[in-house]
Amino acid sequence: MNRLDVYYRALRNYRSLTSENRDCTSFRKAMAQANTENDEIVITRNICTVDEEWIDAIEKGLIFVEKAIKEERQFIYSNGEVMPIEKIKHVSKASVQHLAKHSNLITKEQEGPDLIPDQLYSVEKLNDYAVYENRFLYMLLCYLRDFITIRYEKILEISNKYDGVLKLKKTVVWQNRKVSYTVDLHEESKDDKYLRASNPAKNAIDRIDLILKVVMSFLSTPLMEIAGKAAKLKPPITKTNVLKMDNNFKGAVALYDYIVAYDKPGYTVQCSTVNLAPFSDVLAEDLSEAGGMFTFLMYEYGFGLNEKLKERYQAEELQRQARLIEQREDQLAILRRKVENSESTPEEYILEVEKHMRLLQNDNRQIAPLRSRIDELFEIKEKNDAEISSLKGENKELQEQMETQENSHALALQSMKSECDALVREYIHKHEEEIYDMEQQCNWRLESLEEQMLRKEEQYDQSMEDAKERIQESEKKYDELNKKYEALLERNRFCEARLKGRKCQSGEPFGENEFTEKEDFDELEKELEAFVNFYDDRWNKVKKKIRKKLLNYQALKGRNGHS
């Protein structure tokens, strides 16, 4: 649930509660109808239109860039060196020709037809991928990355930004109250989720995002990583024979010329403004709810009513929770009978039991404040007892004083004594009854809740034991099926990758629009990963066989007298 859904749900719940109270409803309508000429909401956003010409040009050019990368242009050169015969790994035709010209490398007399020189010429062929054409591709991809990123980030920043202004100035006279308030609210939001989802240029933005990912994937290929470590090229480029004659590199050069010559922003921006004045009845009343909440918060904290309102709220919540528990118990009883009669599944019953246990746990958490309230009542009772003792002492002193007064005041003192005694008895009786009633209610509530908790805990323990057994069996079956599914999915991806490779080898063409969508490209990456895993596994097994053959060959060579 996102932020908008949370606020909307809170407002609807708030309105449903205030609508049940006549005073709240009347006050809300009075605020909504007051000083409507000052009400104003202005929303400003940017409508971005992307010029898709440069997107089309890059998408077409990337096809040639991809094919040019797959050519893997390289320069092969030989590196020869005369080395001791012990370090020679293999003998080539060049080694024999060099030995024929340099017989001085044979210094020992040989027995038998075989010639074993002390030193031999060894040739190693090396591949250099950092050729000019590959370095050009790396430079082109870097240009594309920067070219696309600058426009992509700017389009997102402009099209997903909005500016909102709210102005209210109200004066309400209602019953015995007069409320005046002013609201001047200004909000700026960037990368707004709603605007991003409803953006008219979303399709173009998705295309830009996809080609940016394609460019980044090309830059991460092994060939481009090698080219990136070589010396960087600087414009202007030298058009070699490969760049001029090879079709794929010609397409890459055309793309380079296009982005270098492109000097436009690639998009246009139009400002859109929405003015909601005058307000509709629904909007005016929704905004008035906020004004009502402001007055409540000021009154609550101004008079220190927080704790008192909190106690009343907790008491109402306890009553509501008790009603919910009773309703849930009735539902569980009905569901249990359905399970016994095979009209429902045990899983549904377990689910309802878990919901019921969460309600009981919540109710148990709310018992803690009630117990704290009981302790407070006992403290009040002790204070009242102390006050009663003090009043009795004061009463005794008054009696002694009345006895010492003059006879003329005897009747007045007697009357005062009677009134004082009546007040004391009334006060004591009143407080004793209140304390007794509170103790009875609290004790009854505690006993009832403890009995319910014990009964529900026994039912829950038994239900959870049964549920755990079923869950363990289900998880075991799920793991087995998931392993089979993963194996089949991996095998299917390998087969798909192998099939596409066969098509490429046989020259079978693919459609121009195939594998250009983001989902298709993600699936290709997964298929490539499956094929690479298969290749690594097979290559490890082949290396083990080669190593085993080499060891057997060395052992056989040693037995035949060769060093």
How distant is the alpha carbon of residue 445 from its chain centre?
Answer: 43
pLDDT for residue 257: 92
Domain boundary among the residues 481, 509, 539 is at 481
C-alpha torsion 382→384→388→394, nearest 10: 110
Average pLDDT, the chain: 78
User: Is residue 254 located within the same domain as residue 349?
Assistant: no
Question: Is residue 546 in a domain?
Answer: no
Do 442 and 353 share a domain, yes or no? yes
pLDDT digits (tens, 9 = 90+) for 399-450: 777 666 665 566 665 777 677 677 777 777 777 777 777 778 777 877 877 7
Taking only the tens place, the pLDDT of each residue in 93-152 is 666 676 667 766 666 666 656 667 767 766 554 445 577 888 888 999 999 999 999 999
Q: Does a structural domain hold residue 368? A: yes
pLDDT above 70 for 224: yes
Q: Do 152 and 118 sit in the same domain of this protein?
A: no
Q: Is residue 439 part of a domain?
A: yes
323 lies in the same domain as 255: no
Are 342 and 266 part of one and the same domain?
Answer: no
Model confidence at 272, in pLDDT bands (50, 70, 90)?
Answer: confident
Buried/exposed code over 336-357 (b: 16+ C-beta within 10 A; e: otherwise): beeeeeeebeeeebbebbeebb
Tokens matching residue 496: 């798909």
Does residue 311 sit in the same domain as residue 424? yes
Residue where the block lists tokens 């629009």: 513
Structural domain harbouring 337: 305-481
pLDDT at 234: 83
> Phi-psi region for residue 35, left (φ > 0), alpha (ψ -120 to 50) or beta?
left
Chain centroid offset of residue 238 CA = 48
Domain limit, last residue, from 237, 258, 277:
277
Please tell me whether residues 120 and 138 are part of one structural domain.
Answer: no
Q: Is 295 inside a domain boundary?
A: no
Nearest one of 121, 120, 131, 122 to 76, comparing CA atoms: 131
Task: Say how far apart CA 99 and CA 398 lie, in whole Å.
Answer: 139
Rounded Cα distance between 280 and 337, Å, is 52
pLDDT tens digit string along 296-351? 888 888 888 888 888 888 777 777 777 777 777 777 677 677 767 766 666 666 77
Domain annotation covers residue 317: yes
Give the Cβ contact number of residue 314 at 10 Å. Answer: 14
Considering the domain boundaries, does residue 285 fall inside one?
no
Residues 329, 242, single domain; the answer is: no
Q: Is the dihedral of CA 233, 237, 239, 244 positive or negative?
A: positive
Indicate if 114 and 212 belong to the same structural domain.
no
pLDDT confidence of residue 150: 93
For residue range 343-354, list pLDDT tens digits in order.
Answer: 666 666 677 666
Mean pLDDT computed over 446-468: 80
Give tens-digit pLDDT for 133-144: 888 889 999 999
pLDDT tier, 529 (very low <50, low <70, confident <90, very high otherwise): confident
Whole-angstrom CA distances from 326 to 187, 284, 316, 331, 354 are 47, 40, 16, 9, 15
Distances (CA, A) of 238 to 129, 153, 226: 18, 32, 20
State the pLDDT at residue 305. Answer: 84
99 & 247 share domain: no
207 in a structural domain: yes
CB atoms within 10 A of CB 246: 19
Report the share of the chain in percent with pLDDT over 70: 75
Instruction: Report how many helices (DSSP H) and strands (DSSP E) the chain contains, helices first.
Output: 15, 6
Strand blocks (E) in 353-468: none
pLDDT at position 145: 93
Mean pLDDT of all residues in 263-273: 89
Q: Which residues contact 525 (CB under 8 A, 6 or more apart)?
A: 217
At 76 the pLDDT is 43
DSSP string spanning 486-535?
A: HHHHHHHHHHHHHHHHHHHHHTPPPPTTTT-SHHHHHHHHHHHHHHHHHH
In a domain, 393, yes or no: yes
Residues 456, 342: one domain? yes
**Total number of domains constituting the chain:** 3
3-class SS string, 526-563: HHHHHHHHHHHHHHHHHHHHHHHHHHHHHHHHHHCCCC
